[in-house]
Chains A and B, each alone.
Chain A
Amino acid sequence: MVLLGVDSATADAVVGVTAGGEVVREARVDPGPDGRPRHSQVLLGEIERSVEQAGGWARIERIAVGVGPGSFTGLRIGISTARALAQAREIPIAPVGSLAALARGISGGGSGQPALPVIDARRGEAFAALFQSDGVELWAPFVAPPGELAGRVERLDAPPLAAGDGALRFAAELVAAGATVPPPEDPIHRVAARHVCAVGEAATEATPDQIQPLYLRPPDAKRWLQRNRRVPGG
């Protein structure tokens, strides 16, 4: 199968095409010099270049799109882009858990340890899930403060291999709880398009409308109202 994979759950813009499991093109665009994600500026251009290298839209059989959990705005950019392309080109689309894609990379090293992908959830919390090394989900994605996450890790029989921007952020807590956290420069910490495609190949297709972010948090209306900001638009 020829898949276009897209993920925007983290600060990286991740895009790639695989054909029969082989990478045709893979791109990852880091945040700008100011540290802010550039999904809106770079995602669609990388998609167009990747699809072109694969031989054009007619060759794309499925779009696999990361649905988080992660940055709400980032996810909405990636998902609305993927959904628009799917709708316009009438290409089947499938949702991919961004933590599952990260876990795929974590287990790829062959350590045999359970994979603990952790994405920074801001506000001092982490998005996390746990997978067996063969990809079977042990913990469904959840959001928790690092203490609670560490508590769950401590109770595991086998020490997990943790990775992701959240694993780096909360490395001290995770290591103290028994997890292994590779050094920051290890690419294991970033979502890779090949893993989005691989998870997407096994996923169930959906209609564009059914593809929604995995928010794991209600909209923070109270906090917003307290700030009582002016609302532009309308």
Chain B
Amino acid sequence: MSPLLALETSCDDTCAAVVDGPRILSNVVSSQAEFHERYGGVVPEVASRHHLELVNAVVAAALDEAGATLADADAIAVTQGPGLIGALLVGLSSAKGMAAAHRKPLIPVDHLHGHVAANFLEPDPLEPPFLCLIASGGHTLLAGVREQRSFEILGSTVDDAAGEAFDKGARLLGLGYPGGPAIQRAAEDGDPKAFDFPVAMSERGLDFSFSGLKTSLVYRVRDLGPEDTEAQRADLSASFQRAITDQLVTKLRRAVRAGEWPAIALGGGVAANAELRDRTRGLCDEIGLRLKLVPISLCTDNAAMIGSAARFTDPIAYPDYLGFDAFATDRSSVRAA
């Protein structure tokens, strides 16, 4: 057995996991969603405070559930970025301390590589090459995965992330946070063709854009007024959701045509959206591609995916990582194949 302890604190979930190769021995996530609900988004200082409150208990729970001790771990893996800097530093400082205490190697992991690597976990690990759409509250990108160690960014959002569009849309429609599940629920009885929202197809190549969509919803809600918005909330939600998934699926289709990918994988919190799942399945059936959908617990942020990426990342031996710092912005493009 060669277990890895992994930590992930890049946004609003405090996560720790123990993985052994592609096997998940434990995967603990302490969500802070309820604390961010009243702000309608993740407030960095609130997130950082909660990470610090929870991190040691979450690590202890992950080790406990795996029946392992820190001393058993071969190495400690941790998200180094991108993400909220104050949030990342809690996980990184903890991981560095735990690794140093036992002179173990540290494996700094790129968060986006983690989302890609969720597909390498059991059950049913996916082998590259494949196309991976990662959509969440913080990122929206299309990754071309040709090997486990790296990925190529084929397209990414030029403004808002898809999950952010859901959050903002939900706030405008008076729905809860996080916006994705709230809009999906409200959309159930709605007509996705009731309203015409821009789909931003003109965006060049495989990049995404969601800010125009949000602006368009702002105007719709203003024109309708509070009463009509309330009355037509189901239709507005369904049409708004359709516009987001239209863009995601259209870019997937475009990327598949350009790159001859045999499989598509979905990751990130937005991958939990039922309409996106259904429509991606439709696309895969239509062109005869394999669709890989990891369990929702591995779509949203978690530490098992960080442990999975760590298997394909060079470990840093003690003491070379003692001075490591977190990085906030997207540095993944440097690992493009």
Residues of B within 8 A of A212 (CB): 52-53
Greatest chain B CB density within 10 A among A40, A85, A89, A213 is at A40
**Contact count A vs B, C-beta below 8 Å:** 153
Q: Is the CB of B12 within 8 A of A40?
A: no
Asked whether A232 and B45 contact (CB < 8 A) given A84-B98, A84-B101, A88-B101, the answer is no
| Residue A175 is within 8 A (CB to CB) of chain B in the complex | no
> Could you say which of A42, A48, A87 contacts B100, with CB atoms under 8 Å apart?
A48
> Could you say which of A42, A73, A89 contacts B89, with CB atoms under 8 Å apart?
A73
Residues of A within 8 A of B24 (CB): none
Q: Is the CB of A42 within 8 A of B323?
A: yes
Complex Cα gap A220–B43 (Å): 8
| Residue B27 is within 8 A (CB to CB) of chain A in the complex | no
Complex Cα gap A85–B76 (Å): 13
A188-226: which have CB < 8 Å to B?
208-209, 212-213, 215, 219-221, 224-225
B15-71: which have CB < 8 Å to A?
39-46, 48-49, 52-53, 55-57, 59-60, 70
Q: Is the CB of B101 within 8 A of A89?
A: yes
Of B250-258, B275-283, B325-333, the stretch lying at the interface with chain A is: B325-333
Q: Is the CB of B319 within 8 A of A234?
A: no
Residue of A nearest to B323 (CB): A41
Q: Is the CB of B59 within 8 A of A224?
A: no
Complex Cα gap A40–B97 (Å): 11
B80-112: which have CB < 8 Å to A?
82-90, 92-98, 100-102, 111
| Residue B137 is within 8 A (CB to CB) of chain A in the complex | yes
In which size bucket is the chain B interface? 35 or more
Q: Is the CB of B49 within 8 A of A215?
A: yes
A interface majority secondary structure: helix
| Residue A77 is within 8 A (CB to CB) of chain B in the complex | yes
> Could you say which of B40, B52, B139 contacts A234, with CB atoms under 8 Å apart?
B139
> Could you say which of B45, B57, B83, B96 contacts A233, with CB atoms under 8 Å apart?
B83
In which size bucket is the chain A interface? 35 or more
Q: Is the CB of A40 within 8 A of B324?
A: yes
Complex Cα gap A234–B326 (Å): 16
Residues of A within 8 A of B163 (CB): 234
Q: Is the CB of A87 within 8 A of B98?
A: yes
Asked whether A219 and B43 contact (CB < 8 A) given A41-B323, A87-B59, A230-B164, the answer is yes
Residue of B nearest to A77 (CB): B93
Residue of A nearest to B38 (CB): A221
11 contacts between A and B (CB under 8 A): A44-B93, A57-B101, A81-B94, A81-B96, A84-B97, A87-B70, A88-B97, A213-B52, A219-B46, A231-B84, A233-B88
- Other 13 A-B pairs with CB < 8 A, given A84-B97, A88-B70, A231-B44: A41-B325, A73-B85, A79-B52, A81-B96, A87-B59, A208-B56, A221-B43, A221-B46, A224-B45, A230-B164, A232-B83, A233-B84, A233-B111
Which residues on B are within 8 Å of A, measured CB to CB? 10-12, 39-46, 48-49, 52-53, 55-57, 59-60, 70, 82-90, 92-98, 100-102, 111, 136-139, 160-161, 163-164, 268-269, 301, 319, 322-326, 328-330
Which residues on A are within 8 Å of B, measured CB to CB? 40-45, 47-48, 57, 72-73, 76-77, 79-85, 87-89, 208-209, 212-213, 215, 219-221, 224-225, 230-234
